[in-house]
Amino acid sequence: MLTFVTTNPGKVHEAEEYLDDPIQQLDFDYPEVQADDLATVAAHGARAAYRHAGEPVIVDDSGLTIDALGGFPGPYSSYVEDRLGIERVWELTKQEDDRSAAFRGVVAYCDGEDFAATPEPVDRGEADESRSERRGQDLGADERASATIDAQVAGGDGTIPVKLFEGVVPGEIVAPRGDGGFGFDPIFEYDGRTFAEMDTDEKNAISHRGRALAKFAEWFANIER
């Protein structure tokens, strides 16, 4: 049995559409580390979730990246949506000539074992290791805070491998349109329509989460268990 560790039952229903195996939800709000890329956040989350559940788990993490803003808001999407709001993200972006953006989603799988090589990356917590070697030596205040969270989350098992599957949908930031969806959907245009102008099935068929789940499902169907 595969366990999807998330507080959001909607994500579990979406995953069920891609996987042949049954999935159960474990409603556990694992601590999220602060990092500039979604894959690192998801990998830490998967380790913490695996330690909590003690059985094979997936977690997911997603966000919007705007090219002209250096990938902002990326892993901070939820915070930026709450604090700034999508209108202000549009105001920031409309001054730019290049308004290209992408929704990115990462599904992270951990079962405590290592993985045979496939094109999808494996996170082995190397960044944490080099950080902990330097811990107490020349770390700045931000890095020290981050290393402390890493240590708490990793619980000494920072090198447990985590397999990562990324799904990306390229698009463009536009003035808000549409009533559907959630989050940044009204300002994200794909193929002439915003995500908020699509119905749920249409959006799920092309979404970053769906693309990451499809990659994971294909891999998961073929691993030895």
Cross-strand bridge partners of residue 190: 193
- Residue with token string 């691993």: 223
Q: How far is the CB of 135 from ligand IMP (least distance, A)?
A: 28
Q: Closest CB to ligand IMP among 4 and 103?
A: 103
Which residues, in sequence order, are CB contacts of 46 under 8 Å at separation 6+? 57, 58, 59, 108, 109, 110, 162
| Rg of the chain taking only CA atoms, in angstroms | 18
User: Number of residues in contact with ligand IMP, rule: CB under 6 A?
Assistant: 15
Instruction: Scan residues 199-218 and list those touching ligand IMP (CB under 6 A).
Output: 207
Query: Minimum Å distance from CB 124 to ligand IMP?
Result: 22
Q: Are 212 and 14 in contact (CB under 8 A)?
A: no
Whether residue 61 lies in the annotated active site: yes
103 forms part of the interface with ligand IMP (CB under 6 A)? yes
Of 20, 29, 37, 61, the catalytic one is 61
| Nearer CB in complex with ligand IMP: 63/158 | 63
Rounded to whole angstroms, the Cα distance separating 223 from 225 reads 6
Rounded-to-integer distance, Cα 86 and Cα 82, Å: 9
Under the criterion CB under 6 A, does residue 78 sit at the interface with ligand IMP? yes
Tokens encoding 130: 């080099």
| Listed ranges 51-59, 148-156, 180-188, 215-223: which one lies at the site for ligand IMP (CB under 6 A) | 180-188
Residue labelled with tokens 């990938």: 71
Residues 6+ apart with CB under 8 A from 31: 48, 149, 152, 153
Q: Is 165 one of the binding residues for ligand IMP (CB under 6 A)?
A: no
Q: Per CB under 6 A, which of residues 17..76 are in contact with ligand IMP? A: 61-64
- Residues catalogued as catalytic: 61
What residues line the site for ligand IMP (CB under 6 A)?
61-64, 77-78, 81, 103, 181-185, 195, 207
